[in-house]
Amino acid sequence: MDPQVLDLLRSRRTVRRFTSEPVPTEDLEALLEGAMYAPSRLNRQPWHFVIVKDPVVKNRAADLLRVHPYLEEAPVLVLVYAQPSASPTWLMDVSAATQNMLLAASGLGLGSAWVSSPDSPMWGALERDLRPRLHAPEDVRLAAIVAVGHAAEAPAPHERADRFDPLKIHQEVWERTNLMHREHPA
């Protein structure tokens, strides 16, 4: 694997402190282009994205979700909507798009944070509150919010030892031991 790809994956960290520096339009477009390269079942692409810079909407989202201060601080929130009727795997499809967006943000030197809890009561309240404010159609669901901006903190990249766990890899059958480097008996 290209070491730059692993470096990008390791450097993708959740950022919860942002500067007030605006995010250039071309960077936002690149994030969304990256998001739309995500795989989706039968290429249905059930996603839609709403770019939010309005402090009133950002504060409302932070209040309803009790996620402070980074939803208010981020210069941009990308609201990731999905059209469930377009794909029975809409949540997985938009999750892949969201991950692509997070990786694109890291590649552009931006910080990002993913917030999502579509089946929680607080999330439902947020969806109901934002739908008329954003003129979102009734047939879409808010699947995620991605806070984006220039990071005011610099979390260190992940190290292999922090995340890679060979005990979570199973060959052929589920075993409680590490089978990563052992042939499965016939």
pLDDT tens digits along 135-146: 999 999 999 999
User: Would you say 68 and 62 are in contact if contact means Cβ atoms under 8 Å apart?
Assistant: yes
pLDDT digits 0-9 by tens, 82-127: 999 999 999 999 999 999 999 999 999 999 999 999 999 999 999 9
Cβ neighbours of residue 130 closer than 8 Å, sequence gap 6 or more = 57, 60, 61, 79, 136, 142
For 114-172, give the DSSP string. Answer: EE--TTSHHHHHHHHHHHHHHT--TT-EEEEEEEEE-BSS-PPPPPHHHH--GGG--SS
Give the model's pLDDT for residue 186. 44
pLDDT digits 0-9 by tens, 1-26: 888 888 888 888 889 999 999 999 99
To which residue do tokens 């409302």 refer?
60
Q: Which two tokens stand for residue 62?
A: 């932070």
Burial class (CB in 10 A: 0-12, 13-18, 19+), 170: middle
Give the model's pLDDT for residue 180. 54
Which of 119, 110, 41, 121 lies closest to 75 in space, CA to CA?
A: 110
Cis check for the bond before 132: say yes or no (omega within 30 of 0).
no
pLDDT digits 0-9 by tens, 25-45: 999 999 999 999 999 999 999
| pTM score above 0.85 | yes
pLDDT tier, 175 (very low <50, low <70, confident <90, very high otherwise): confident
Q: Is residue 61 over pLDDT 90?
A: yes
For 15-61, give the DSSP string. Answer: ---B-SPPPPHHHHHHHHHHHHTS--GGG---EEEEEE--HHHHHHH
